[in-house]
Structure 1
Amino acid sequence: MLRKPLLTVHEVADLLKVKEATVRQWIRDRQLRAVKFGREWRVAHVDLETFINQNANR
């Protein structure tokens, strides 16, 4: 099923070198797909890759 663990907002922010508030805003704006477990958001690796590819300069 899941080959890689889901990323936390903190981990996504660290990977992309942005603030956690920015990642939360992307999630709130539905730009970045995420799943909520209790009070915490998690992002699948594939969804992060999709987000990066959709927002890359061409």
Structure 2
Amino acid sequence: MSIASVELTRPAEARNLAPVLLTVEEAARCLRVGRTTCFALIRSGELESLMVGGLRRVPADAPAAYLARRRAERPAA
């Protein structure tokens, strides 16, 4: 069975689901920062993450939450 046939046999609902967890690289792309900067944000506690087995993952809503906190910290112009 090829990868293409597996993709075609998945239910439509599964193909349309948004990811719940992001890789660090995906989170970095969301924030338009580099991988190293993203790891620094995680290490400092500014960006939420968790370990799944031996893999570091970022909840899909964490980049938006980080941005919202940063915007709230900014003094009003």
- Find 1:10's aligned residue among 5, 9, 25: 25
Unaligned runs of 5+ in 1: none
**Alignment partner, residue 30 of structure 1:** 45
Measured on the aligned residues, the alpha-carbon RMSD in Å equals 1.7
Aligned length in residues: 55
Please tell me whether Structure 1 or Structure 2 has the larger radius of gyration of its CA atoms: 2
TM-score by length of 2: 0.61
Q: Cα deviation per residue 1:29-53 (whole Å; 9 max; x = unaligned)?
A: 0111100120x21111222221110
**One-letter code of the match for 2:67?**
I
Q: Which structure has the higher relative contact order (CA within 8 Å, separation 6+)? A: 1
Q: Does 1:55 align with 2:70?
A: yes
Higher helix share: 2
The partner residue of 1:42 within 43, 54, 57 is: 57
